[in-house]
Structure 1
Amino acid sequence: MSSPEIPPRPSRQSFLKSVRNACAGILTAFRSERNFRIQSVIAIVVLLAGWRFEVSHWEWAVLVVAIGMVLTAELFNTAIEAVVDLASPEIHPLAKRAKDVAAGATLIAAITAAVLGLIVFLPHLSAH
């Protein structure tokens, strides 16, 4: 009885190619999606406010996770919309449902991030 073949390990070159493809996807979203650009600008404003108010390490962690959550949700939303458009170019109730649910997930992420931002920044604002 022969032993099962062990699949080859991915090469460093394939890892770098995956990173390049991921960066290309982010850049595509930035160029083509108005909401992603708006959320990116808001993220920069939040990071600058964190620097300005000298937030604690834990507050930085909360802000970075919140920003990452929103941008990731928007990227998933963009990907889902593209796949739905490809699979169903005509208007269909299930296509609308998929797009609406994906947009709803992004909205929940954005509202959650806004609440976290208020929790972090309100004490700093009231102290000044």
Structure 2
Amino acid sequence: MSIEKHTGLKRLLFSINNSWAGVTDAFKTEDAFRHIFIFSTLLILISFTLSISKIEHVLLILCSFLLIVIELLNTAIETVVDRISLEIHPLSKRAKDMAGAAQLVAIVATLLTWLIVIF
């Protein structure tokens, strides 16, 4: 059985559709993603009220997007690990813990960036 490969604009549209499906699925099914998404949206909106340089504004917005991206990757890793097996295994725990650690690092980086820009 061969899989039809899309090319050109059709491939781009197919890819965008799949990506959007991933975002909407994460929003519907993952509390942590919803929280990060809402928090990041609020941070972006707050950043527009600050009297800061364009570079600082871009940094604050990038931090917010970074939180969303890493949460999506964290969710993807957890989903794949759970797909393989729901059995508790040291390597599964390690993968999930490291994905969570990546999110923690992003949150700390965002917090520090906001503190540096504001103060």
Same fold (TM over 0.5): yes
TM-score normalised over the length of structure 1: 0.83
Identify the range of structure 1 (56-65 vs 45-54) with the bigger mean alpha-carbon deviation. Answer: 45-54
Aligned to 2:39: 42
In structure 2, the partner of 1:101 is 98
Quick one: which amino acid aligns to residue 72 of structure 1?
A: V
Cα deviation, residue 79, structure 1: 0.2
Instruction: State how far apart, in whole Å, the 2-side matches of 1:66 and 1:57 are.
Output: 14
What percent identity do the matched residue pairs reach?
37
Matches of 2:104 and 2:12, distance apart in 1: 32
Larger Rg over CA atoms: 1
Structure 1 residue 72 and structure 2 residue 69: aligned? yes
Large movers: runs of 4+ above 4 Å: none
Q: 1:107 deviation in Å?
A: 0.7
Structure 1 residue identity aligned to 2:100: A
How many Å apart are 1:55 and its aligned residue?
A: 2.7
Residue aligned with 2:48, SS: helix
Question: C-alpha separation between the residues in 2 aligned to 1:19 and 1:9?
Answer: 13
| 1:3 aligned partner | none
Which residue of structure 1 lines up, in the alignment, with residue 111 of structure 2?
A: 114
Residue type matched to 2:50 in 1?
F
The equivalent residue for 1:18 is: 15
Counterpart of 2:81? 84
Structure 1, unpaired ranges of 5+: 1-7, 123-128
Q: Report the CA distance between 1:9 and its aligned residue.
A: 8.8
